[in-house]
Amino acid sequence: MKVDNKLTPLVGNSVKPAKAGASSSTEKTSATPQDNVQIGSHAAKVEGSSAPFDRARVDAIKQAISEGHFKVNPEKIADRLIASAKELVAG
């Protein structure tokens, strides 16, 4: 398989390659233009509420993973992925 090493620069891309030995977190760049992100009213409501999940189930799964006896059911995962995709397409 041939790998194409040609890169097309993005218009307005303000990301600059890091210099050798320089930390990217301390390097300052002048970004123009900047992105603007707004959180909708539904997201703001969700942010303040607690997430609906079963803490005991999460803890049991964590323990099973750490002990090495957690079993993955690929058929169940595939079925749920397909169902999720169908919901996205329908809705």
* Model pLDDT, residue 86: 95
Mean pLDDT in each 10-residue stretch from start to end of the chain (91 residues)? 62 55 52 74 64 88 94 95 95 76
Domain that holds residue 76: 53-90
* Model pLDDT, residue 81: 97
Residue 29: which of 47, 17, 44, 41 has the closest Cα? 17
* Model pLDDT, residue 37: 79
Q: How many domains does the chain have?
A: 1
* Model pLDDT, residue 60: 95
Q: Alpha helices of the chain — where are they, by DSSP H?
A: 41-48, 55-67, 74-90
The answer as to whether 44 is a domain residue is no
The answer as to whether 18 is a domain residue is no
